[in-house]
Structure 1
Amino acid sequence: MQPMEGPESLVAPRHATWLELFFDLVFVASIGVISHGLSHSHDGHVSLKQLTDFVLQFFPIWWIWASHTLYLNRLDTYDRVQRILTLSVIFLLINLSAMFGGNVLVHTSEFILVYTAIRLLIAFMYFWSQFGGGHLQSYARQMCVATLLGALISCGALAFAGEHRVAVFYLGIVLEMALVAFVSRKIRLTRQDRKHLVERIGLMTMILLGESIISLVASLQDRAGETPNLIAMMFGFILIGAIWWIYYGSFYLLESAREIRRGITLLYTHLIFAMGLVMLANLIGLTMRDEIDSESFRMLTLFGLIFFYIGKQVSYFKAIPPHRINNVVFTLTCVSIGAFSTYLPNPTLALVGVTFAMLTYVFMHYTWTLPKDVSAYLEVSGKARRC
């Protein structure tokens, strides 16, 4: 006889809605526009400025996705008002994406105005949720205020110019993120909400991996009529497969991990994880097209691997204590092998080395980490399926 798991066991499983999936697709399309500047080199060189511009442009788009995801995770009723407001956010996000380019925040006011309009829509969604009843009315009211404050500060950047404009704009985002984390401190996700949040993050990652495949195919098309770099193509695909395996191999644990209480850590760390994933995807494309020098390869590899692993491992470090030592050791091993690989004679061989580093992590993780019993840190005792 199976033991009852409490009232939540009677609740139907909650999954991402079709509208959420649509939102994810638009978000990833926006990321594709942002990463365009990172996917092209100048005489084989990718500058630090290109990388910095990518990070700065990625941040506000990710925060739109993350804050909207957080709202739907806790207050979604899938009613007509929420659908209309979400579609309005999507429409503005599409327009925002069209404004990307070098120094976009320095030279345009439209970007800040459209971004502010999106924040105001999300604030209104929280305001509207106050009238829906339930125990989260106070939470909705506080989140509305936090979102408004962040929006007003970011919009206040219009009063400045140059670097000061950029600083004030991002100050609004960082302050809002801090306020959201503070307001959420008393929230405890139900099992269904946690599974929904993990699913949304996992789906977003899967779509980003799909973008990596699109980049791989596009790189082949760019060399139509030429002999393709078969080694880079093969190991580029193996690298993407290894990334999938590393990410999803133990992802099921997060759905039931007791320490994923509010989801803030899991959500926020995926900012740098997603940036690292996009960097590695562009690294593969540039190598396949023979458009990257060793110095640029080294920069993208180090930033990509460090961002990828930090973003992935923090949640596991917090939620699954028995995995901590192994995760740290394996991460350092993989990053070290990848770093040494960048000193091989050319980027193609270096890509082979980075792929070997990822495969090494997969082997060590499945051999020494996953066999450990972590059931004491999960809310369910049933066996979970591994990828």
Structure 2
Amino acid sequence: MTSAFRIRMTGRSTDESHRVSSPLELLFDLTFVVAIAQVSAQLAHKTEAGQALSGLGPYLMVFFAIWWAWMNFTWFASAYDTDDVPYRLTTLVQMAGVLVLAAGVPSAFDEQNYTAITIGYLVMRVGLVTQWVRAAVEHPEGRATALRYAIGISVVQVGWVSRLAMPESWGLWTFIVLALLDLSVPIWAERTGKTTWHPHHIAERYGLFTIIVLGESVSAATIGVQRSLANDGFGGELIVIAVAGLVLLFALWWLYFLEPAAEGLSSHRNRSYYWGYGHYLVFASLAAIGAGLEVAVQPGAGHGEVPAAAIGYSVAVPVAVFLAMLWVLHAPLVPDVVIRPLKTLIAVVLLLLLPLAAPLIGLGGVIIGVAVVASALVAATLLDVHLRASGTRVTGAAAA
């Protein structure tokens, strides 16, 4: 799309041909690289200190802010992206908010201080509300919905800011209430009319964000390798875990893109909330895998205060969550899921049992096992696809 000074903001067509991510959307995604790297690193530090469970709460809360801000921008852009000067400037405001949020991640984990994160979230919401107000002014057909979005987001944001003045003991339940209210805004707003988001564009955007999160896992593991090399140099277990981690991430990438979401979203637009919201667990689990791998490649990992089984679970559990969510999200969306549920179930059970064998096979053996399970699921699924395609061809030939 060629940028102009100003283009009237109207709802874009739901069946627009060749709809792909814009350069601005790709730039916007890059700011989230920093935020995801921060939250993944903090979870890794907690895991390394044997405090993975205590770090899980802050991790999930901070990741919610990151994911929700990205998701709101993405769905708005799919329906109203004009790529003109005002649109680009309001997007810049949201990008600035992401960077402020990222700067506040360490204090949220170490001190339970969410001030910087709340300020960054506020800046992002100001940019988003501005865009919704503009949509209400320039697109009369969608005005009621746009105004509901602007009002709903603003009211909930008042709650987020007010939360800073509340007692620390209220932190968890106020987060849950406000998060649920945030999630309710789109459902309430679109009761007066649906926004014209593009199914193939949305599927592509989610796929790109999946790649970003996987990339952060690669980065986290690389940081762990660098620290290990600085302390102990090359070692057999280090090489094994690093290679197994790379194979694992490659297998997870392959599995995600085996499921065709775009056609399902096109056929079942009413299930978009289910699919879109459920990706919170997909993205959060992928980022957590990176944190687990970063710890796994540390010198002496599994031989010190943190047992090998615990480190193994820091990788195996998020992988199991990721695999389970692939089926949960796509089963209601497509007539026939590509990754068979029985194979997914077997893989999940194996993943949850593998770390128990850590005393026998070591941490390296556990990570290899996780990578083998994921790779085997890829191979089994590709074989299923091939057999089904061959069966279709044979049936079609016989009918002819």
Letter in 1 for 2:317: F
Moved more, 213-222 or 335-344: 213-222
* 1:185–1:10 CA distance, 2 compared to 1 (3 A): closer
Partner in structure 1 of residue 5 of structure 2 = none
Q: Verify the 8 A CA contact 1:28 1:207 in the aligned structure 2.
A: yes
Partner in structure 2 of residue 379 of structure 1 = none
Within 5 Å, give how 1:78-227 maps onto structure 2: 78-101=83-106, 103=108, 106-133=112-139, 135-184=141-190, 193-224=198-229, 226-227=233-234
Moved more, 275-284 or 82-91: 275-284
The separation in 2 between residues aligned to 1:174 and 1:70, in whole angstroms, is 18
Render the CA deviation track for 1:189-218: whole Å, top value 9, x for unaligned. 76x811111111111111222222222332
Moved more, 271-280 or 118-127: 118-127
TM, length-normalised to structure 1: 0.85
Q: Verify the 8 A CA contact 1:116 1:151 in the aligned structure 2.
A: yes
Partner in structure 2 of residue 332 of structure 1 = 345
SS in 1 for 2:332: helix
* 1:235–1:302 CA distance, 2 compared to 1 (3 A): closer
Q: Verify the 8 A CA contact 1:59 1:271 in the aligned structure 2.
A: yes
Query: Cα offset for 1:369?
Result: 5.4
Letter in 1 for 2:354: S
Moved more, 181-190 or 266-275: 181-190
Moved more, 217-226 or 270-279: 217-226
CA RMSD of aligned residues (A): 2.8
Q: Verify the 8 A CA contact 2:285 2:321 in the aligned structure 1.
A: yes
Partner in structure 1 of residue 280 of structure 2 = 271
Query: Cα offset for 1:222?
Result: 1.8
Moved more, 292-301 or 146-155: 292-301
Q: Does 1:305 align with 2:319?
A: yes
* 1:178–1:99 CA distance, 2 compared to 1 (3 A): same
Letter in 1 for 2:240: I
1:53 to 50, 58, 61: 58
* 1:330–1:123 CA distance, 2 compared to 1 (3 A): same
Partner in structure 2 of residue 368 of structure 1 = 384
Letter in 2 for 1:273: V
Moved more, 91-100 or 246-255: 246-255
Structure 1 or 2: more helix by fraction: 2
* 1:113–1:259 CA distance, 2 compared to 1 (3 A): same
The separation in 2 between residues aligned to 1:184 and 1:251, in whole angstroms, is 26
Render the CA deviation track for 1:254-313: whole Å, top value 9, x for unaligned. 476512446322221111101111112222222222434324224423530243124322
Letter in 2 for 1:199: E
Show structure 1 runs of 5+ residues with no match. 1-7, 374-387
Show structure 2 runs of 5+ residues with no match. 1-12, 390-400
Moved more, 345-354 or 287-296: 287-296
Q: Verify the 8 A CA contact 1:153 1:169 in the aligned structure 2.
A: no
Query: Cα offset for 1:52?
Result: 2.3
2:355 to 315, 339, 342: 342
Render the CA deviation track for 1:10-48: whole Å, top value 9, x for unaligned. 844111111111111111210101111122357663431
